[in-house]
Structure 1
Amino acid sequence: MAKKIILVDDSRTILVTAEMALDELVADGSITLVTYLSPVELRDALVEGREDFDLLISDVNMPQLDGLELVTEIKQLEAFKTKPILILTTESSAQMKARGKEIGVTGWMVKPFSDEKLVKSIKMVLGI
């Protein structure tokens, strides 16, 4: 059964780039990919039970709700306490990474990312 990945980023370019990078995993049935431009829309869908995931990949710097705030809110929900979350961002400071780890982030990738690194990280986290 395909693992469901949700990617949230306010950049359409990043969403399209990631979709292309993950095309083979989607095509072979390993994953399904759902994308969101708005972290608020995603949070609301998760809180209301309209959305679920096996892996969430989130940017940090987004309008209305930054990625670490989103993770903090999601991790308070019983359904998502143990679900893996990768951060995909331009932020690379040790302080920012430490904050991510404190709130339950599984891994951290810095943009620009390579297709190979993204695929490898997803396979490792999901065990596929």
Structure 2
Amino acid sequence: MSKRVILVDDSKTILATAQMALEEMINKGAIEFATYLNPEELLNALLDGLETYDLLISDINMAQMSGLDLSEQLKSHEKFKNRPILILTTESSPEMKARGKAIGVTGWMVKPFSDEKLVKAITMVLGL
């Protein structure tokens, strides 16, 4: 059974790049891949039970809501508190990473990312 991976980023370029990087995993049926430009839209869909994930990958700096705020809100819900979240961002400050760790994010990837690193991170986190 395939795992559901969601990427939320307000950059259409990043969403398209990730989609291409994961094409082989998607085509093999290892993962289902969904993208969101708006973290508030994703949060509402998740909390309303219209969406779910096995792995969430989130940018930090987005207009509507930061990826860390999104992660914090999801981790406060029983349904999502043990689900993995990877942060994919240009931010690499120790303070940001410490906040992510305190929230409970699973890992941190810095943009720009290579296709191989993204595939490897997803494979490791989901045990594929």
Structure 2 residue 23 is matched with structure 1 residue 14: no
How many pairs does the alignment contain? 128
CA RMSD in angstroms, aligned pairs only? 0.4
Counterparts of 1:49-128 in structure 2, within 5 Å, are: 49-128=49-128
Task: List structure 1 segments (4+ residues) > 2 angstroms apart after TM superposition.
Answer: none
Q: Distance in 1 between matches of 2:97 and 2:58?
A: 13
Q: Which amino acid aligns with 2:84?
A: P
**What stretches of structure 1 of length at least 5 have no aligned partner?**
none
Q: State the shift of 1:77 in Å.
A: 1.0
**TM-score under structure 1 length normalisation:** 0.99
| 1:4 and 2:4 aligned | yes
Q: Match of 2:125, as an amino acid?
A: V
Identity of aligned residues (%): 66
- Paired with 1:13 and 1:83, the residues of 2 have a C-alpha distance of 26
